[in-house]
Amino acid sequence: MSNKLISIVIPCYRSEKSINIVIDEIEQVVAIRDGFDVEIICVNDHSPDHVWDVLKERVVRDAKVIAVDLARNFGQHAALMAGYRQAKGDYIFSLDDDGEAPVDAIYQAIDKLEEGNYDVIIGAFDHKNSASLFRGLGSFMNERMARWLAEKPADLSLSTFRLMRPFVKDEICRYQGCYPYTSGLLFRTTLNCANIPVKHRKRLEGRSGYTVKKLLMLWLNGFTAFSVKPLRLASLMGFVFSCIGFLYALYCIVQKVVNPNLQMGYASMMSALLIIGGMLMLMLGLIGEYIGRIYICLNNSPQTVVREIIGQKIVK
């Protein structure tokens, strides 16, 4: 009986000093149990450091590693998509390159997947040691977006430590749009998910690569790529403001009938105009964002551009 293959996808950015440590730990953990092999797919998201040189050197001496080099920085979610397309395992993991991921929980996740017949297992951190305010805020917003837009179960926690079955990975990879949001793609495929408690470890070095701009783009992708709920919310707000305006008009008419000498104030009129005008501009901007993304997708803007892939059994 052949061994089962574990595929582990790692997006790499500013991790030249930590990636080898993470790979070493993965290989040590997988070797603990018989009957399993591992392939480690590292995706260089056009990192400004020398992580690609480190990966090329690792591939030469380690047949378990596949390295993918992207032509420019496409973001963590697009890098994950590029890695998923190379994965051929019976179990598909994704985790970060900074050493925070609980690599020692790999078999715990596999056991939970099989025992409960789940499709996806996600690590639930007991607490987070990351000092990055932006990363914490990004995780919070990702959690809320997945719950509202992707119908994530309320009792399910999100993290970047994930295990999925091959059919989930295959369905996610069917998405060809240039604005991938992996949490939305995952919950669009299945809600048969569960958590395992894991420990969040400190980063090996450096700090999170997420900036304010990248977080804003992630939130925008989540809001516009997988749901029309923001547009429905805009319609609802328009209806609510129309009702408020109608009731206020009735109030003004009644006041004028009761007290004909009452002077109608310009301040209230200007406040109402500014509120309504601001809401209209916001909603038009939201609609414009949807239309702009449709235009970009129709122009076949690439999800990623792969410059080079090195390693065994390359999938084109």
> Are 78 and 122 within one domain?
yes
User: 161 with 122: CB under 8 angstroms?
Assistant: yes
Tell me: pLDDT of 315 over 50.
Answer: no
Q: Please tell me which residue, 93 or 298, carries the higher pLDDT value.
A: 93
Mean residue pLDDT of the chain comes to 82
| Nearest partner of 184 among 298, 49, 41, 77, judged by Cα | 77
Q: Per-residue pLDDT averaged across 170-195, rounded?
A: 90
pLDDT of residue 131: 47
Q: pLDDT tens digits for 204-249?
A: 665 555 556 666 666 666 666 666 667 777 777 777 777 777 777 7
Please check whether residue 40 is in contact with residue 59, taking contact to mean a CB–CB distance below 8 angstroms. no
Residues 186 and 262 in one domain: no
Mark whether 234 and 283 lie in a shared domain: yes
Domain encompassing residue 13: 4-226+302-310
Residue 142: pLDDT above 70? Answer: no
Judge whether 46 and 82 are in contact, CB under 8 Å.
no
Greatest mean pLDDT range, 64-68, 182-186, 283-287, 292-296: 64-68
CATH number at residue 86: 3.90.550.10
Total domain count for the chain? Answer: 2
Residue 222 shares a structural domain with residue 242: no
CA distance 260 to 234: 37
Residue 265 has pLDDT above 80, yes or no: no
Please report, rounded to a whole number, the percentage of residues in the chain having pLDDT higher than 70.
78
Would residue 316 count as lying in a domain?
A: no
- Bigger pLDDT: 274 or 103? 103
131 with 249, same domain: the answer is no
